[in-house]
């Protein structure tokens, strides 16, 4: 899928107007020797007997120099440091302080985003959604950043994320316009003649409208009759053809719109799928996007009994399935506990940032030949899911889009390019899978790549 990466997390922080480097955020050495609650309040030590007009003593000047005045930047950096150490509550306070210190747009974006990460870690999805919505609307946050960040994994499994994503898919000036624009570009690549068809629909509708504009007066004259009046049947027939053509062309135009919306929704769902993590047999954690051109993942989702039986039957065809690049990914509904990972914070280095999402350079999705070969050597017959809440949330959305009852046993077969090839209820028939999927070295597999 021709999808591209949105820029990694914005890194802090500079007062200049130039581009922001995409390197790891450097934490400023800000340590206050005295406790404080508001970053905007300077900490002053004074003697009760000293008058306001008395000159400051050398001790006071040294103390003032030793205690830096908090800024929005220093509060964000301190919050990141606390967040990386697992002190989420203290980090949340620092991000709130940063928003009260007249931050620059970049500082405000970072503070809001990291505040959302804190709320997501505390499973406060509504508060996280409010922070992200404000950052998207007012501070140019890229929606792909939300898709990529592992710190927001609990939030992406919540209904609030689904609402936010639907807002982004609708686009508009307030939220998600960049995200929708990127998805439309991918949609145009997959359906290159849709724009041409729309042009002809509009042009022919305009021509039929102009013809109708001149036909209506002739039809009125034909109805009135008299000398020199045009033939009624011929004129009525021309008017009916023009009006019918307008109705058909307008219907076709809206049908194309509806088809595009459905395609954009599917692209967004495929993009979300590509970000889902799995653990290989070597204990290496990767995202599905890194398996593109290497494997055809087959997702088996359902009850423990159904998935276990399907896995046992697949073992009989293991050799032939491996020749076709099949990688089994079992998803047992409700069987996994929540994945508690250590928070990293916005701007710190994380594995997910190495593989971009929608909006960046398409070529960055492909790794070097050597890296692909190493990864291919690690892939076996089965991979375990990571972040089960995200997996189950995606599968529920896929079931709803296909009209399947959520929670029912399903299987999903992916192409080599990462798109959904086929899905169905129950567990797959492995004989049919062997007949359907070509071997990796065959021409059809090369075309699929």
Q: What is the CATH number of the domain that holds 141?
A: 1.25.40
Q: What is the mean pLDDT of the chain?
A: 75
Q: What's residue 140's pLDDT?
A: 82
Position 96 in a domain? yes
* Mean per-residue pLDDT, 419-444: 89
Does one domain contain both 118 and 229? no
Domain limit, last residue, from 249, 275, 301: 275
Position 8 in a domain? no
Task: Please tell me whether residue 300 adopts helix, strand or coil conformation.
Answer: strand
Token pair, residue 28, equals 């400023």
Cα distance between residue 46 and residue 60, in whole Å:
8
Domain limit, last residue, from 253, 275, 297: 275
**8 Å CB contact between 439 and 323:** yes
Q: What's residue 25's pLDDT?
A: 35
Does one domain contain both 325 and 427? yes
Does one domain contain both 428 and 312? yes
Q: What's residue 370's pLDDT?
A: 59
- Return the minimum-mean-pLDDT range out of 55-64, 165-174, 307-316, 349-358: 349-358
More confident residue, 52 or 115: 115
pLDDT confidence band for 69 (50 / 70 / 90): confident
Provide the pairing of β-strand 277-279 with 285-287: antiparallel
What's the pLDDT tens digit per position in 119-171?
988 889 899 999 998 988 888 888 878 877 777 877 887 888 878 877 776 66
Q: Is the pLDDT of residue 95 over 90?
A: yes
Cα distance between residue 373 and residue 360, in whole Å:
24
Does one domain contain both 85 and 164? yes
Q: What's residue 448's pLDDT?
A: 75
Cα distance between residue 15 and residue 105, in whole Å:
10
Position 258 in a domain? yes
Does one domain contain both 170 and 288? no
Domain count, the chain: 3
**8 Å CB contact between 166 and 183:** no
What's the pLDDT tens digit per position in 264-293?
877 778 878 887 888 888 888 888 888 888
The conformation of residue 220, written as its DSSP 8-state character, comes to: H
* Mean per-residue pLDDT, 181-202: 79
What's the pLDDT tens digit per position in 339-364?
444 444 444 433 333 333 333 343 44
Does one domain contain both 269 and 281? no
* Mean per-residue pLDDT, 314-334: 92
State the residue range of the domain holding 398.
277-337+363-445
Per-position b or e across 338-372, b if 16+ CB within 10 A of its CB: eeeeebbbbbbebebbebbbbbbebeebebeeeeb
Handedness of CA 315, 373, 445, 290 (dihedral sign): positive
Q: How many CB atoms lie within 10 A of CB 331?
A: 21
Does one domain contain both 409 and 299? yes
Position 26 in a domain? no
Q: Is the pLDDT of residue 112 over 70?
A: yes
Position 67 in a domain? no
């Amino acid at each position: 899928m021709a999808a591209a990466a949105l820029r990694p997390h914005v890194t802090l922080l500079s007062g200049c107007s130039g581009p922001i480097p995409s390197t790891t955020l450097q934490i400023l050495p800000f340590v206050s020797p005295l406790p404080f609650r508001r970053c905007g309040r300077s900490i002053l030590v004074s003697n009760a007997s000293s008058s306001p007009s008395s000159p400051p003593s050398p001790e006071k000047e040294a103390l003032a120099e030793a205690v830096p005045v908090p800024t929005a930047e220093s509060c964000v950096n301190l919050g990141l440091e606390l967040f990386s150490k697992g002190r989420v509550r203290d980090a949340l306070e620092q991000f709130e302080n940063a928003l009260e210190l007249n931050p620059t747009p970049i500082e405000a974006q970072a503070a809001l985003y990291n505040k959302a990460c804190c709320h997501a870690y505390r499973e406060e999805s509504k508060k996280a959604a409010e922070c992200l919505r404000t950052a998207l609307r007012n501070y140019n946050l890229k929606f792909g950043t939300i898709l990529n960040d592992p710190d927001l994994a609990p939030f992406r499994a919540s209904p609030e994320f689904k609402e936010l994503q639907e807002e982004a898919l609708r686009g508009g000036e307030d939220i998600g316009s960049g995200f929708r624009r990127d998805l439309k570009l991918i949609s145009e690549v997959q359906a290159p003649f849709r724009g041409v068809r729309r042009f002809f629909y509009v042009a022919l509708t305009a021509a039929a409208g102009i013809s109708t504009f001149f036909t209506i007066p002739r039809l009125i004259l034909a109805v009135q009759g008299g000398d020199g009046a045009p033939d009624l049947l011929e004129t009525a027939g021309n008017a009916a053809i023009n009006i019918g053509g307008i109705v058909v062309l307008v219907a076709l135009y809206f049908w194309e719109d509806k088809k595009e919306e459905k395609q954009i929704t599917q692209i967004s769902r495929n993009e979300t799928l590509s970000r889902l993590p799995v653990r290989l047999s070597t204990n290496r954690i990767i995202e599905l996007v890194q398996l593109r051109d290497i494997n055809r993942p087959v997702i088996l989702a359902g009850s423990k009994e159904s998935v276990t039986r399907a896995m046992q039957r697949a073992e009989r065809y293991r050799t032939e399935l491996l020749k076709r690049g099949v990688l089994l990914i079992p998803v047992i509904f409700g069987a996994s506990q929540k994945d508690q990972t250590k928070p990293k914070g916005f701007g710190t280095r994380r594995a997910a940032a190495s593989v971009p999402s929608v909006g960046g350079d398409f070529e960055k999705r492909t790794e070097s030949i050597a890296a692909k070969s190493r990864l291919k050597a690690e892939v076996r017959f089965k991979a375990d899911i990571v972040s089960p809440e995200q997996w189950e949330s995606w599968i529920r959305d896929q079931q709803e889009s296909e009209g399947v009852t959520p929670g029912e046993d399903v299987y999903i077969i992916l192409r080599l390019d990462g798109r959904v090839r086929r899905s169905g209820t129950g567990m797959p028939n492995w004989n049919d899978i062997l007949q359907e999927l070509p071997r990796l070295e065959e021409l059809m597999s090369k075309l699929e790549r």
